Amino acid sequence: MPTGACGINCDTCRLSLLAICSTCGPGKSLEAQKKVAAQLRILGAPCPMLACAIENRVDYCPRDCDRFPCDQFKAGPYPFSQGYLNMQERRRRERPTAKIPCGDVPKVPSEYWEDLKRRDLNVLCGNALARTYPPDGIRLSFLGKELLIDRKHRRLFRLSGGHWDDIDAPLLELLCLVYLLNVGPEPVCDEMISVHELKEALFFQGPHELKVRPLLERYGNDLDSFKSVAQRLGGEVLDLADVAYKVWAFPKVPIYYLFWEGDQEFEPRLSILFDRSIEHHLSADAIWGLTNLVSDTMLRGIKGNDVVA
């Protein structure tokens, strides 16, 4: 493959075209092993980035390693400038702006909060499998972590280190309210269905397709990393596909991720499935937003309590 573990695409380099230099290849590739052997023979030492990628079984440092940019890159002087590495660090700390299906940044209608305030708290929590938080709050699980929906102050909080941290996440706030306002008494029925079996299946076409391709590109040939991130999200292992997990977005909304690893003959495949009961609780646009929010969280490679996009 023409792209090296450091992220440089050798197809764009004249040295490669002239056959003066060969690609390092991804960290888990045969090309990487050959390149390190050549570097040891000719230079007496391997490229530290490539050697690290091989040792840690990372294909591409900028895409697959949570520590990028690490000290190996910062020590320089190449392949990247300090300015580029600073930009990577800064933007990796930022959260991508979550969007709704029309492409706009979500806005939470005030009437949603007003409607939530009028609801009977015990009935609402019973349907949602949530818990009351006196005097007027709701404790709701999201991806295995505790959120607090404060009806009085119309705010969202996350439990972190024994304290409630105020968070600004409009899409998550909107989805929490939509779930609480619409969830019914129907239980999870443990019957998996695809997006094509939903009553509103036509919605999930074109710009509303589920975020499958980025997950395939990131984890299709790195299922160990997918296992790690799914487990940190509280995912339950399923005996399906090559790797499969049930991830609880909300207490009555499991999302199933089924991965088949790629090889020399077949491309990797991913199926995102739902419980048949999901349409009792969420509309098509809410299903779309929630699924993509969970998938974006997986793509970020979350750490610790960092599960809010």
User: How confident is the model at residue 304, as a pLDDT?
Assistant: 44
Last residue of a domain, one of 27, 58, 93: 93
Residue 225 resides in a domain: yes
For residues 22 and 77, membership in a common domain is answered with yes
CA separation (Å) from 119 to 10, 148, 171? 60, 16, 22
Q: What would the mean pLDDT of 48-67 be, rounded to a whole number? A: 87
For residues 196 and 296, membership in a common domain is answered with yes
Rounded distance between C-alpha atoms, residue 97 and residue 171, angstroms: 9
Domain that holds residue 63: 10-93
For residues 270 and 229, membership in a common domain is answered with yes
Residue 42 resides in a domain: yes
Residue corresponding to tokens 């119309």: 154
For residues 36 and 88, membership in a common domain is answered with yes
For residues 37 and 82, membership in a common domain is answered with yes
For residues 70 and 141, membership in a common domain is answered with no
User: Residues of the chain with pLDDT > 70: what percent?
Assistant: 91
User: How confident is the model at residue 96, as a pLDDT?
Assistant: 57
Return the higher-pLDDT residue of 80 and 6: 6
Residue 158 CB contacts under 8 Å (≥ 6 apart), including other chains: 145, 146, 147, 148, 164, 165, 167, 305, 308
pLDDT by residue (tens digit) across 14-49? 667 556 677 888 888 888 888 888 888 888 888 888
Residue 1 resides in a domain: no
The answer to whether the predicted template modeling score (pTM) of the entire model surpasses 0.75 is yes
Q: Hey, what are 68's tokens?
A: 């990028």
Q: How many separate domains does the chain show? A: 3
236-242: which pairs have CB atoms within 8 A and are 24 or more residues apart?
241/271
Residue 56 resides in a domain: yes
Taking Cα atoms as reference points, which of 213, 260, 222, 229 lies closest to residue 27? 222
For residues 225 and 278, membership in a common domain is answered with yes
Last residue of a domain, one of 130, 164, 182: 182
Residue 101 resides in a domain: no
For residues 233 and 278, membership in a common domain is answered with yes
For residues 282 and 218, membership in a common domain is answered with yes
CATH code at position 238: 3.30.310
Q: What would the mean pLDDT of 160-164 be, rounded to a whole number? A: 88
